[in-house]
Amino acid sequence: MKLIIVENYEEISKLAAINIKDVINKNPNAILGLATGGTPLGTYKELIKMNKENEIDFSKVTTVNLDEYIGLSERNTQSYRYFMNENLFNHVNIKKENTFIPNGLAKDIQEETNNYDKKIDELGGIDIQILGIGTNGHIAFNEPSDFLISGTHLTDLTQSTINANSRFFNSIDEVPKTAITMGLGQIMKSKKILLLAHGENKAEVIKEVLSGNITSKNPATMLQMHKDVTIIVDRTIGDLIKITDI
């Protein structure tokens, strides 16, 4: 694992966008694994800027997202499809039909999850996967548990995730309790992974990810088994994890 400590959130976003740009410029047909949440927003702003300045062409790019809430339609402003359209897809020259997000309204969830994994495999796998991380170590909606599930699956959200995500909803009661998420096995098949984190509340979990221990109680620790993971954090986390202690 490679750890890069930069000054602040802006620098994290710039560096992540440069990494994505490099992948696309090497392979215009690249498959991007994308994430939602607060963390990647800055990266998406940078990508939009690069696209407007003709530094990246999304016309042949395909994207697959990590997860989607159950029960929210794409018109619901809290759905991850809405988030991606608003924060990236509507502002770059990507073809909407090349953007994939699990369908949280699917009648047959099992079929939806199986097809999602099949689709990713058919595409040839993810070239670069962007990840945020929950303070509890979740990656996508792979929550701490006694065991982890490899493929895309239906999952319950933990109370801590529901609490954390309630900041985007009018009330905590509106936060869905279940979601479809890519599993850790599918995420680990990505050729390259970028994990982004900033702010002091992520310091402890990042320290665990770098600890050398792997536990399903912190799903992100699994990433230590991947051969090409770069973690980009801000100075706040860098100072708090006191890298020499690890």
Contact set with ligand PGA (CB under 6 A): 37-39, 132-134, 138
- The sign of the CA dihedral 132, 39, 170, 108 is negative
* Catalytic-labelled residue, pool 117, 143, 208, 234: 143
Tell me which of 51, 65, 67, 153 is the catalytic residue.
67
Q: How far apart, in whole angstroms, are the C-alpha atoms of residue 237 and residue 167? A: 22
Q: How far is the CB of 211 from ligand PGA (least distance, A)?
A: 19
In whole angstroms, how close is the CB of 149 to ligand PGA at the nearest point?
17
Q: Decide whether 128 or 139 has the Cβ nearer to ligand PGA.
A: 139
Q: Which is nearer to ligand PGA, 38 or 71 (CB)?
A: 38
Q: Give the C-alpha separation, 218 to 29, whole Å.
A: 33
Of residues 20 and 133, the one with the C-beta less far from ligand PGA: 133
Intra-chain end-to-end CA distance of the chain, in Å: 13
- Concerning whether 143 is annotated as a catalytic residue, the answer is yes
Scored b (16 or more CB within 10 A) or e, 83-115 reads bbbebbbebbebeeebbbbbbbbbeebeebbeb
d(CA 205, CA 219) in angstroms, rounded, equals 10
| Continuous segment of H or E residues that includes residue 121 | helix 109-123
- Residue of 117, 138, 153, 218 with catalytic role: 138
CB of 138 to ligand PGA, least distance (A): 6
Q: Compare residues 51 and 142 and give the one whose CB is closer to ligand PGA.
A: 142
Q: CA-CA distance, 116 to 153, in Å (whole number)?
A: 9
For residues 60 and 207, which CB has a smaller minimum distance to ligand PGA in the complex?
207
CB 216, CB 137: distance < 8 Å: no
Least CB distance to ligand PGA at residue 27 (A)? 26
136 belongs to the catalytic site: yes
Rounded Cα gap, residues 175 and 157, in angstroms: 10
Closest approach of Cβ 186 to ligand PGA, in Å? 16
65 part of the active site: no
DSSP states of 59-107 as a string?
TT-EEEESEEETT--TTSTTSHHHHHHHHTGGGSS--GGGEE---TT-S
Catalytically annotated residue among 19, 57, 136, 156: 136
67 in active site: yes
Main-chain dihedrals φ then ψ at residue 188, nearest 5 degrees: -70, -15
Residues classed as catalytic? 67, 136, 138, 143
